[in-house]
Amino acid sequence: MLKELTPLASHSNGVDCRHLSVFNLLNYKQYSHFESVWKQCGLFYTKPTDDAPGLLRSKYLNIEEEMHLVHNIDAFSLKTIDSQGFINDCLKSIKHNDPIIVYVDTYYLKGNFYFQKKHMLHTVILADVEDDIFTLVDDTFYQIYQLEKTDFLKTANIKRDDKYVYNYLTFSLKNAKDILETKDFLKVINQNKIYLSGDLKEEQLQKLSNLHRDYPVKITGMNAITQFVKDYKYFETEQEISQEIYYSLYLSLMELANYHYRYFSFLKFCKLKDPDIDELLDLLEDMSQEWRVSSNMMLKAMYKNDLNLFKRMLRKVENIKMNLQLTLERSAIILCKYKYQGDFQYVD
**Residue 311 in the binding site for another protein (CB under 8 A):** no
CB of residue 194 to another protein, shortest distance in Å: 27
Single out the residue of 207, 226, 202, 213 nearest to residue 45, CA to CA: 226
Tell which one of 316, 329, 338, 347 touches another protein (CB under 8 A). Answer: 316
Helix (H) or strand (E) holding 93: helix 83-95
Hey, which bits of 37-120 come out as E strands?
Answer: 44-46, 55-57, 74-80, 100-105
Residues 6+ apart with CB under 8 A from 16: 140, 254, 258
- Where does 2-144 have alpha helices with state H? 17-28, 63-68, 83-95
Give the separation between CA 323 and CA 316, rounded to whole angstroms.
12
Interface mask toward another protein for 25-64; x: CB under 8 A: ----------------------------------------
CB of residue 12 to another protein, shortest distance in Å: 9
Residue number with CB closer to another protein (146 or 296): 296
Give the separation between CA 263 and CA 66, rounded to whole angstroms.
12
**Residue 319 in the binding site for another protein (CB under 8 A):** no
Give the separation between CA 310 and CA 237, rounded to whole angstroms.
11
Phi and psi based region of residue 111 (left: phi greater than 0; alpha: psi -120 to 50; beta: remaining)? left
For residue 68, count CB atoms less than 10 angstroms from its CB and return exposed for 0-12, middle for 13-18, buried for 19 or more: middle
Residues 6+ apart with CB under 8 A from 247: 298, 299, 302
Task: Find out whether 128 and 6 touch, Cβ atoms under 8 Å.
Answer: no
**Residue 304 in the binding site for another protein (CB under 8 A):** yes
Q: Give the total of residues touching another protein (CB under 8 A).
A: 26
CB of residue 292 to another protein, shortest distance in Å: 5
Give the separation between CA 75 and CA 85, rounded to whole angstroms.
19
CB of residue 65 to another protein, shortest distance in Å: 27
Tell which one of 143, 146, 227, 248 touches another protein (CB under 8 A). Answer: 143
Angle in degrees, 0-180, between the axes of helices 243-268 and 275-304, rounded to the nearest 10: 160
Stretch 94-133 residues interacting with another protein (CB under 8 A): 113
Task: Find out whether 94 and 126 touch, Cβ atoms under 8 Å.
Answer: yes
Q: Which three-class secondary structure state does DSSP give residue 311?
A: helix
Tell which one of 67, 70, 87, 254 touches another protein (CB under 8 A). Answer: 254
Strand partners, 145: 136
**Residue 19 in the binding site for another protein (CB under 8 A):** no
**Residue 297 in the binding site for another protein (CB under 8 A):** yes
**Residue 14 in the binding site for another protein (CB under 8 A):** yes
Residue number with CB closer to another protein (94 or 297): 297
**Residue 236 in the binding site for another protein (CB under 8 A):** no
Region of 135-143, 185-193, 272-280, 324-332 interacting with another protein (CB under 8 A): 135-143
Residue number with CB closer to another protein (34 or 261): 261
Residue number with CB closer to another protein (147 or 309): 309
CB of residue 168 to another protein, shortest distance in Å: 22
CB of residue 138 to another protein, shortest distance in Å: 10
Tell which one of 123, 140, 191, 192 touches another protein (CB under 8 A). Answer: 140
- Residues near another protein (CB under 8 A): 10-11, 13-14, 113, 140-143, 254, 257, 261, 288-289, 292-293, 295-297, 299-300, 303-304, 309, 312, 316
